[in-house]
Amino acid sequence: MASGPSKDIVTEENGQFESRKREHIELSLLPDNQATGRSGLDEYHLPHCAMPEIDWNEISIESSILGAVRKTPFLISSMTAGHHGSVNLNERLALAASRRGWIMGVGSQRKELFDEEAHQEWVELRKTIGSELLMVGNIGLSQVIQTPPEKIQDLVDSLKAIALFVHTNPLQEALQVEGTPYFKGGFESVARLSQILSVPVILKETGCGFSASTLQQANELGIYAVDVAGFGGTHWGRIEGGRNGADALKNQAAKTFANWGVSTYQSLLNARGLDKKNFAVWASGGIRSGLDAAKCISLGAECVGFAKPLLDSAVQSQDALEKTMEALEFELKVALFCTGSRSVNDLKKLRV
């Protein structure tokens, strides 16, 4: 996620943006910045079926996402990845996503709002990877509030995106040295954007999840989905705390808020508990295995996203990244087999 030093989004220097991006990648890989074991999914169990009445080769993980059938229900969650040493992480992630038929969420495109050259990255990526890759754009809620919808449409067009994530991250913006904690008018701006944009809008958190009342209000926005991105994985309060250095006030507050957030499991239950739901539910935040993903699907998720586990392997090698993705798909298949589900849809119908 990206943000500037003041309410004026065009003032940030490119150098400052790049160094923050580097710090975010390095800090998100540290175990202390992960709320490991707190997603709530470890306490939720799928029922074992001792006699599945299915052969392994009948199992399919194909899924309907955004109104079309995809090879898997999986998403590379939005990451401002850029370069790590000499490696172009976005290229690595894009190649892997296109080979395995995953959807790829790119990191915040905020830089494109003030740097006319920034969209070139996507032009080059499309040249290398091709047009098949399904990409979802990304922009922060504070930028949506301050930017005319036509300029946000440019972000979608530059990427040839199939949808746009609008990320919300109040804890991070409050604790970040350069944060933009300005969210007034957020609901109205997202509703307006959803009406005007050429592609569906998906509202996402970044690791702090959604309460039942925020989800209730999301019903009125005309959005396609909410990606709960709950507590239990990468934690941006902790990460910004580690970046604050001399800013003792924000540093101390980051420790106080180290376990802040609605867990991914609870966020999914909150969505399930709504009387009426006008949006699809996507799950992410601390999803660390294909079994975690299966649990989220059984709780109603249409699509399941992974960030940190893929970043971890992407910094190692292309091969490591694709092996991780293969392992996640395999584990989902095992979960389907052992619950007696032939398909992802069967898993959704499972009585737990």
Ligand X SMILES: Cc1cc2nc3c(=O)[nH]c(=O)nc-3n(C[C@H](O)[C@H](O)[C@H](O)COP(=O)(O)O)c2cc1C
Q: Does 208 bind ligand X (CB under 6 A)?
A: no
Instruction: Single out the residue of 40, 179, 186, 207 in contact with ligand X (rule: CB under 6 A).
Output: 207
List binders of ligand X among 227-286 (CB under 6 A). 229, 233-234, 284-286
Cβ proximity to ligand X, 204 vs 250, nearer residue: 204
* Nearest distance in Å: CB 108, ligand X: 4
Among residues 311, 318, 317, 336, which one has the least CA distance to residue 76?
311
* Nearest distance in Å: CB 11, ligand X: 19
List binders of ligand X among 148-177 (CB under 6 A). 165, 167
* Nearest distance in Å: CB 349, ligand X: 26
Considering only 154-162, 293-301, 303-311, 335-343, which stretch makes contact with ligand X by CB under 6 A? 303-311
* Nearest distance in Å: CB 286, ligand X: 5
Among residues 160, 136, 135, 156, which one has the least CA distance to residue 147?
156
Distance CA 249, CA 341 (A): 51
With a CB cutoff of 8 Å and minimum separation 6, the contacts of 49 are 338, 339, 340
* Nearest distance in Å: CB 32, ligand X: 14
Q: Does 298 bind ligand X (CB under 6 A)?
A: no
Instruction: Single out the residue of 98, 172, 206, 313 in contact with ligand X (rule: CB under 6 A).
Output: 206
Instruction: Single out the residue of 134, 164, 190, 307 in contact with ligand X (rule: CB under 6 A).
Output: 307
Instruction: Single out the residue of 3, 12, 20, 25 in contact with ligand X (rule: CB under 6 A).
Output: 25
With a CB cutoff of 8 Å and minimum separation 6, the contacts of 178 are 3, 4, 5, 12, 16, 20
The owner of tokens 């798909």 is: 329
Cβ proximity to ligand X, 59 vs 243, nearer residue: 243
Considering only 40-48, 78-86, 117-125, 175-183, which stretch makes contact with ligand X by CB under 6 A? 78-86
Q: Is the dihedral of CA 12, 16, 18, 21 positive or negative?
A: negative
Show the beta-strand stretches assigned E in 16-134: 63-65, 68-70, 74-79, 83-84, 87-88, 103-106
Cβ proximity to ligand X, 122 vs 306, nearer residue: 306
Distance CA 63, CA 161 (A): 19
Distance CA 30, CA 34 (A): 7
Distance CA 281, CA 285 (A): 13
Q: Does 315 bind ligand X (CB under 6 A)?
A: no
Question: Residue type for 94, please?
Answer: A
Q: Which residues pair with 54 in a beta bridge?
A: none
Report how far apart, in Å, the C-alpha atoms of 267 and of each of 41, 75, 315 are: 11, 18, 30
Instruction: Single out the residue of 4, 40, 73, 107 in contact with ligand X (rule: CB under 6 A).
Output: 107
Instruction: Single out the residue of 70, 92, 243, 308 in contact with ligand X (rule: CB under 6 A).
Output: 308
Instruction: Single out the residue of 98, 138, 176, 313 in contact with ligand X (rule: CB under 6 A).
Output: 138
Q: Does 104 bind ligand X (CB under 6 A)?
A: no
Interface with ligand X (CB under 6 A), residue total 27
Distance CA 298, CA 338 (A): 13
Q: Do the Cβ atoms of 80 and 140 come closer than 8 Å?
A: no
* Nearest distance in Å: CB 4, ligand X: 14
Binding site for ligand X (CB under 6 A): 1, 24-25, 28, 77-80, 107-108, 138, 165, 167, 204, 206-207, 229, 233-234, 284-287, 306-308, 311
